[in-house]
Amino acid sequence: SGSTTLRSSSSSSHHEKLMDFNNDWSQVASSLLDAKEAATLGDVNKCYEAQSNLHSSFNHLFGSYSGNWLVPALHVVCKHTHRLAVACATKKDHSKMQNAVNLLQESFSRCLNDRKEYQPNAPWSDEGSKKAGVLYIVNQLFAMYFRLNTLRLCKNIVRPVESRKLHTSGIKGDMVTYRYYVGRLYMFEDHYDQAEENLDYALVHCRKIAFANKKRILQYLVPVKMLRGRLPTIALLEKYSLKEFLPLVEGLRKGDLRSFNEGLERNQDLFIQRGIYLLLEKCKTVCYRNLLKRVHLFLKDDKPHLALEDISRAFAWLDIRMDLDEIECILANLIFRGYIRGYLSHTKRVLVLSKSNPFPTNAVIIKPSN
């Protein structure tokens, strides 16, 4: 208790001296000392409160100085605010995370609305544009939006960034991180073409030594590519310890619906946590298509059709019980999607296949738009 008293009296004297200066930076320095004292005592909540005051004061000062020489310091402030808010967050209380979002949104606005012309890769100076600091802050906001599950707010920062093309130049690490989050956002919105484009960019431009970051990108890029018909190699999945995808990939490749379902069920909690479970469920359609193709090749004769009873036996062999009406629904969906060329005869209970290319590859393997 004696050491605590000494710290408190020492801190008070520091505050008095700082306030005597009566300058613009006294509040920032005072809050910094409060944060340091709280950190020393291990009080993360008081530490965040001091950091919040510091950030608010810094935002005010940042707008009053010309040039972008304070941008690196602002980035440090944003990073610490974000990390402390995460440290304080609980399952029931996200108030500090919400407060941190507001502080970073203010920092974002002060950078974005700078009137000086942005010159990519220009040195920090009294003449530089504050827009150079936008992308780093956007990435911090993305991380918080995803944690709070408020993805609708992402569009509020994506639109102004991309309309000014601030995501196309600058620090490579910030650009890669931006593309990673935007790719995930497109994935959740079912825009898989844009999701693949952005995640591909992030993977290709990620540093070779950044193994953990590449793995994080692949956790979302792999299922997107699977849905679009391009399966990863076993070597790739083993290299990045993504073995949870192995039974799914093998199931898709062989049309082995049993292996696919077992792999999906075994890692269900993990896939739900990542937000990719429903996406992987959609891949089951490709698995159906490949299974039917194997059945067709196995039973191939002069008649271009498959009896629904034969398809039912193939499902039963995989321990999947379906009546003929369920099988008809699956086949109708495959025909509608263009995965199979042909038509159904309900009265005869057969799938009549096209004589020419009944299982078109280009319907399953979708090439990237770029």
In tens, the pLDDT along 109-146 reads: 999 999 999 998 889 999 999 999 999 999 999 999 99
**How is 181-229 classified by DSSP, letter by letter?**
HHHHHHHHTT-HHHHHHHHHHHHHHS-TT-HHHHHHHHHHHHHHHHHTT
Eight-class DSSP state of 122: P
On whether the CB atoms of residues 81 and 101 are closer than 8 A, the answer is no
On whether the CB atoms of residues 52 and 102 are closer than 8 A, the answer is no
Pairing type for strands 305-307 and 342-345 reads: unpaired
CA–CA gap between residue 151 and residue 149 (Å, rounded):
6
Q: Is the pLDDT of residue 15 over 80?
A: no
Give the mean model confidence (pLDDT) for residues 292-314: 82
| Average pLDDT score over the chain | 89
Look at 320 and 111; give whichever has higher pLDDT: 111
CA–CA gap between residue 156 and residue 12 (Å, rounded):
42
pLDDT for res 79 = 97
Q: Is the pLDDT of residue 306 over 60?
A: yes
CA–CA gap between residue 62 and residue 73 (Å, rounded):
10
Give the mean model confidence (pLDDT) for residues 47-65: 95
pLDDT for res 7 = 44
In tens, the pLDDT along 64-75 reads: 899 999 999 999
In tens, the pLDDT along 199-256 reads: 999 999 999 999 999 999 999 999 999 998 889 999 999 999 999 999 999 999 988 9
Give the mean model confidence (pLDDT) for residues 296-322: 82
If you search the block for the tokens 């990390």, which residue do you land on? 83
CA–CA gap between residue 210 and residue 310 (Å, rounded):
50
CA-closest candidate to residue 236, choices 228, 226, 227, 246: 246
Eight-class DSSP state of 254: H
Q: How many helices (H) and strands (E) does the chain have?
A: 18, 3
For residue 191, what are the CA distances in angstroms to 57, 194, 196?
40, 6, 9
For residue 120, what are the CA distances in angstroms to 78, 84, 165, 342?
21, 31, 11, 55
CA-closest candidate to residue 151, choices 164, 140, 142: 142
Q: Could you tell me the pTM of the whole model?
A: 0.86
CA–CA gap between residue 159 and residue 99 (Å, rounded):
23
**CB-based burial label for 352 (10 Å; 0-12, 13-18, 19+):** middle
Give Rg (Cα) of the chain. Answer: 28
